[in-house]
Amino acid sequence: MWSYAFKRAGTTAVTLLAASIIIFAFIHIVPGDPIYVLLGDTATPDQIDALRHQLGLDQPIILQYLTWAGHVLEGDLGRSIFFQAPVLSVIADGAETSTLLATMTMIWVAVIGVPIGMIAAVRHGTWLDQGLSGAAMLMASIPTFWVGLYLILIFAAWLGWFPSSGYPSIFEGGVVNLRYLVLPSLALAAPNAALILRLTRASMLDVSREDYVRTARAKGIRPWQVVRRHIWRNALLAVVSAFGFTFAALLSEAVVTETVFALPGIGRLVVQSILRRDYPVIQGVILVIVVVYLLINLIVDLSYRLLDPRVELQ
Amino acid sequence: MSSNSATLWLRPFLARPVALAGLGVLLATVLAAIFAPWLSPYDPYAIDPLIRLTPPNVTHWFGTDQFGRDTLSRTIHSARMALLIGSGVVVFALATGVPAGVLSALFPRLGHLLMRMVDVLMAFPTLLLALGLIVILSPSVATVILAIGIGYMTTTTRIVYGLTLRLRAETYVEASRSMGAGAAWLISRHILPNLVSPLLVQASFVFAFAQLGAASLDFLGLGAPPDIPSWGNMLAESRTFITRAPWLLFFPGMMIVATAFSLNLVGDALRDRLDPRLRQVFGEKG
């Protein structure tokens, strides 16, 4: 187990290193001199010279990368042109909204996707299964922002049950502010719940073809008991690991949803930074999301093998 | 194509009425795109301030937008952008992913390097990768195709790589090799023909996700140039009028759902019927 864990962590580190080179290169590939990019259009020649010297842009590119990577490791992701503040603190401001939105979305995904997927699997091949599977495919084919807009129309504009946009921090207004996240998390949950539903169903059908399930059935154990004690527990493992991947993917998928609902999260920050040409922020967010994405994948992968000793350790 | 192989390709759909309906929707969309100027009752760009935001009626079946433009005509014309971007993404993903996957499987050293590069690209979530590319490249339809396509290039490469590895281990391929067949012969006679069915399945799923991806980018104002009618652009332009004119967002949104859903249905039917072994590759069972 440990040798596998070290190997797997090593692969992640190498991938991260390669990804960091791409992310570093990003600000140099962006159209225009990086100095103008960093200072904005209003910079004076003095400021340009000062920053060029300060950033060491006259040095070889490899040295520049090492300097940048060193700063990143110390938590210095550069400064935002628009906010005139450290990129890390700008991202931290959006972290609360994005994390809560992703968590709430995952709750919907679990509550909707898993039980319905189980029902479809138990009723495999019936019209109920076909209907539920078809509905899942339909849900996966609907753009989240379109769902979001109609949720706003119906539940905010017409019925007035939930606020239509924005999110004031729960640390200032209390837990009731979570009601701002109900509609966005539902919109974001729809396609992901559909995927988990299909996965739960597929995973349960997979397990139900195993020999030990046939043996259990042959022993005369009630069908319900077979599902609960033999199929469900083993099928759950694949589903739980998919939760990790889904959560990691949500951080970037939320870009569109946060824009529709005007939520002050990391996703909307990216879109606004693109429109403002605030390149250091875009670079910082991409870096943070890639790191989180890789870390979650690593944790899921390791815990998967820890939970199920049968999984082959390479 | 002989009549025999035509029935073979149609068979998966005949068994499933829903998939047949999906195929019908796609055919209608293609026809709408081709004959858009003749099918549209009005000029999709014609502005008429006197009839702003009229609800659906006899003269304007889908109503009019905030500039008094005919929504039906714009919805029909948007099918062109949907097909252009969808097929562009599919062609890009296949043109890059198939050679990369096949060569990686046949030449392990090259494969090792290429698959590590795929791993690195896959560390970037698809939408994030698309946004990063859009920042670097100037906004255009080609940029959108590339930005969305690069995310599916990696998944296609992986699928083709896995399939080719499996094919390479088949007895008949080994026999052919032992008789002195070169890489070109193996690829053209044994590998590519066997990749056709799985790639057709992959293409329909990629086409479906490209629809949703392009709509998202349009909606964020980072997709197709705003003067071109597309379903995503129509939604982006009309979103502030949703309370006054809810129908404006209904028709373009329904078209996105209808095409993406149909493509998923078709992909599903093809996967299940053309080659049952494919279920393992695409991770779905039953």
Judged by a CB distance cut-off of 8 A, whether residue A37 touches chain B is no
Distance between CA atoms of A16 and A14, rounded to whole angstroms? 5
DSSP string, A267-310: HHHHHHHHHHT-HHHHHHHHHHHHHHHHHHHHHHHHHHHHH-TT
Q: Answer whether residue B7 is part of any domain.
A: no
pLDDT of residue B1: 44
Chain B residue numbers touching A16 (CB-CB < 8 A): 123
Residue B286 has pLDDT above 80, yes or no: no
Q: Answer whether residue B6 is part of any domain.
A: no
3-state DSSP call for residue A86? Answer: strand
pTM of the model: 0.87
Question: Which of A141, A149, A249 comes nearest B125 by C-beta?
Answer: A249
Q: Answer whether residue B11 is part of any domain.
A: no
Q: Closest Cα of chain A to B227: distance in Å?
A: 18
Q: Closest Cα of chain A to B255: distance in Å?
A: 10
Q: How far apart are the first and last CA of chain B?
A: 31
Give residue B168's domain range: 16-282
The residue-averaged pLDDT of B116-141 equals 89
pLDDT of residue B53: 81
The residue-averaged pLDDT of B231-247 equals 87
pLDDT tens digit at each of 314 positions of chain A: 678 888 889 989 999 999 999 998 887 787 766 677 667 667 777 777 777 777 667 778 888 888 888 888 888 888 888 888 899 999 998 888 999 999 999 999 999 999 999 899 888 888 998 899 889 999 999 999 999 998 988 888 889 888 888 888 877 877 778 888 889 999 999 999 999 998 899 888 888 888 888 888 888 888 778 887 778 877 888 888 888 888 888 888 899 999 999 899 999 999 999 888 888 899 999 999 999 989 988 888 888 777 776 665 43
Judged by a CB distance cut-off of 8 A, whether residue A145 touches chain B is yes
pLDDT of residue B277: 55
Mutate which of A145, A192, A291, A293 to disrupt the B interface (most B C-beta within 10 Å)?
A145
Q: Answer whether residue B5 is part of any domain.
A: no
Distance between CA atoms of B198 and A230, rounded to whole angstroms? 33
Cβ–Cβ gap B123/A138 under 8 Å? no
Chain B residue numbers touching A256 (CB-CB < 8 A): 127, 216, 219-220
Interface of chain B against chain A, CB under 8 Å?
Answer: 18, 116-117, 119-120, 123-128, 131-132, 134-136, 138, 208, 212, 215-216, 219-222, 235, 239, 242-243, 246, 249, 253, 256-257, 260-261, 264-265, 268, 283-286
Distance between CA atoms of A68 and A73, rounded to whole angstroms? 9
Q: Closest Cα of chain A to B36: distance in Å?
A: 24
Bridge partner list, A229 = none
The residue-averaged pLDDT of B109-138 equals 90
Q: Read off the DSSP letter of residue B43.
A: -
Q: Report the CATH number that the domain containing residue B21 is assigned in CATH.
A: 1.10.3720.10
Cβ–Cβ gap A134/B18 under 8 Å? yes
pLDDT of residue B3: 53
Q: Answer whether residue B9 is part of any domain.
A: no
Q: Answer whether residue B184 is part of any domain.
A: yes
Distance between CA atoms of A218 and A212, rounded to whole angstroms? 10
Distance between CA atoms of A237 and A137, rounded to whole angstroms? 23
Residue B148 has pLDDT above 60, yes or no: yes
Q: Answer whether residue B270 is part of any domain.
A: yes
**Number of domains, chain B:** 1
Question: Which of A31, A198, A255 comes nearest B127 by C-beta?
Answer: A255
Size of interface A-B (CB pairs under 8 A): 129
User: Backbone phi, then psi, for A193, in 5-degree steps?
Assistant: -60, -35
Give one word for B124, left, alpha or beta, with left for phi > 0 and alpha for psi -120 to 50.
Answer: beta
pLDDT of residue B283: 46
Chain B residue numbers touching A290 (CB-CB < 8 A): 123-124, 128
Chain B residue numbers touching A138 (CB-CB < 8 A): 257, 261
Q: Answer whether residue B248 is part of any domain.
A: yes
Dihedral sign, Cα of residue A282, residue A287, residue A293, residue A296: negative
Chain A residue numbers touching B285 (CB-CB < 8 A): 202, 205-206
The residue-averaged pLDDT of B61-88 equals 89
- For chain B, the average pLDDT equals 86
